[in-house]
Structure 1
């Protein structure tokens, strides 16, 4: 899918965290150009703002997954309030997603090993805990920052459910996978594999999780064919932990390029949900904003054209349409 020039120019007129990705994946800029833009993430705009908020002990907001002092029984923890997105794991996720050079955070992995503990059972940071999504984020961030997370990688095959996916509620006895947990798990495994080479066992686990999602066409229940939920085609940025067809297709694009395989035809219906959301002016809207405390907003409010959503949607369609041509 070719972007209209005004839309491409609009995407390029953005923070370095987004601009370098547009240059590389949509504008066809030379490598030295997009790499120069990428280097600016550490010193300008959104990336520099987040870096400046890091605590001396390597954390953000004084906590691993939640800010220090978070009241798990207070108003912020009530249904619908949304969790805070300011603590260490969420901030690392964001900086990694924006392409920050891990060298900028030299020493952070060691500081987190020494100072950061999970809110669950006070477990050491790089060992992970019991939640699939949290462990997947930690696996990806550890591989990025050079922490030893090999044992955490092996946690995923050991906790994969019989249907091929994962569920963060396994510790409560759940034996059926969740598309949210499974998507986050395969993303973490792919990041680890790309950084370290992985292993056959980890690759098999990732592929089985991807198959779980493909059996559902990223959209539908296997048993009834009904939609997974009304949220499945609601697009937003940041993705956070929430499953959507756009979020899942973003992973399958990365996995396809990593594996050197063609797009799976079972993704076709999900791709069309992305295409159908394109506005007459060639942009995509921010359709939702996950509630919760943030350091600062990084994208527009719901209902407005979003550069981030437009970028991810256009990149998915360019990959899909390019493979078909």
Structure 2
């Protein structure tokens, strides 16, 4: 595809994706992309997710898992893998799609009253022990106007000696993990963007160093690739780590902090570049299994508009080209 054809293909999409293409790739005036963003809660996939909310403020009757989820055995009705229909996953999606928090009304208050974590029956907005879950709760709370400052402080208290985080810390792990660290960083950045509170920026920068020292791809001890999944791209990202997910985070963080791209990102950016097809798109390679409300992207092997948005956004930022200098 020509560049114009590629952009037109991306623009022929749901409002949740289209406004980001308008802002980050086309360079449309704010009044244009903001108008499209306003449609997320009233039409298309965003409106569909909002309509699926339970009267108590939850989705699928649970905080992280659907109500009644069988933790032992998948069934014919429940595809193997983490289900993606419960409250936290749905809030993550709506937030990342740019849904106006006002469209959720008193959701925050209803969740405070009605939603408890599956772990120890803890109250929803207080978080629990998993750093990824706490990061999503931090971002979602800041988005919906909840005072989640105590949860933000949790990340400073639970940062490991090597600079990152690991969801298995509660089981005794003292070494950080790539996915846990990236998800924690994303939550901290969302919190800072939404609240203006930069008191944990040094904590975030230390976490970024954990990944940068490893060039986002390698074990520090041996220099070997950390795992094959680093170069597998799938949308939605959800909790998964990939070079694309990580470089898009560093793009957003650098723009927020008004910093130049860190040279240690170069190898990971080239992984993203090599995955681009001759027509300019990226393929859906590794969609995660598990029950969903509806398909948010194409099946494996098909060109993905969502991955193409993220890929182009990273490359334009890195190369310093085009209008993509937006958060």
Q: What is the TM-score of this pair, normalised by structure 2?
A: 0.96
Q: Which has the higher contact order (CA 8 A, sep 6+)?
A: 2
Cα deviation per residue 1:214-269 (whole Å; 9 max; x = unaligned)? Answer: 01101111111110111101111100101000000111011001100000000000
Tell me whether 1:246 sits opposite 2:244 in the alignment: yes
Tell me whether 1:60 sits opposite 2:59 in the alignment: yes
Q: How far apart, CA to CA, are the structure 1 residues paired with 2:185 and 2:263?
A: 19
Cα deviation per residue 1:273-318 (whole Å; 9 max; x = unaligned)? Answer: 0110111111110001100000000100111100000000000001
Superposition RMSD on alpha carbons, in Å?
1.5
Q: How far apart, CA to CA, are the structure 2 residues paired with 1:236 and 1:260?
A: 29
Q: How far apart, CA to CA, are the structure 2 residues paired with 1:190 and 1:295?
A: 27
Residue of 215, 218, 229 corresponding to 1:217: 215
Q: How far apart, CA to CA, are the structure 1 residues paired with 2:269 and 2:89?
A: 28
Name the residue aligned to 1:270. 268
Closer/same/farther in 2, CA of residues 310 and 323 from structure 1, 3 Å limit: closer
Deviation at 1:199, TM superposition (A): 3.7
Q: How far apart, CA to CA, are the structure 1 residues paired with 2:118 and 2:209?
A: 32
Residue of 260, 281, 293 corresponding to 1:295: 293
Q: How far apart, CA to CA, are the structure 2 residues paired with 1:306 and 1:187?
A: 22
Name the residue aligned to 1:180. 179
Cα deviation per residue 1:116-173 (whole Å; 9 max; x = unaligned)? Answer: 0000000000000000000000000000000111111010000000000000000000
1:263–1:323 contact (8 Å) kept in structure 2: no
Name the residue aligned to 2:313. 315
Q: Secondary structure at the match of 1:169?
A: helix
Name the residue aligned to 1:51. 50
Deviation at 1:74, TM superposition (A): 2.2
1:65–1:88 contact (8 Å) kept in structure 2: yes
1:262–1:323 contact (8 Å) kept in structure 2: no
Structure 2 gaps, min length 5: 323-327
Structure 1 gaps, min length 5: none
Name the residue aligned to 2:12. 13
Tell me whether 1:156 sits opposite 2:147 in the alignment: no
Cα deviation per residue 1:38-65 (whole Å; 9 max; x = unaligned)? Answer: 0110111100100000011110000000
Name the residue aligned to 1:167. 166
Q: Which moved more, 1:136-145 or 1:315-324?
A: 315-324
Name the residue aligned to 1:236. 234
Deviation at 1:323, TM superposition (A): 7.1
Name the residue aligned to 2:91. 92
Q: How far apart, CA to CA, are the structure 2 residues paired with 1:312 and 1:24?
A: 13
Name the residue aligned to 1:34. 33
Name the residue aligned to 1:123. 122
Deviation at 1:198, TM superposition (A): 2.1
Q: How far apart, CA to CA, are the structure 2 residues paired with 1:153 and 1:88?
A: 20
Q: Secondary structure at the match of 2:142?
A: helix
1:60–1:87 contact (8 Å) kept in structure 2: yes
Deviation at 1:210, TM superposition (A): 0.4
Q: How many residue pairs are counted as aligned between the two chains?
A: 320
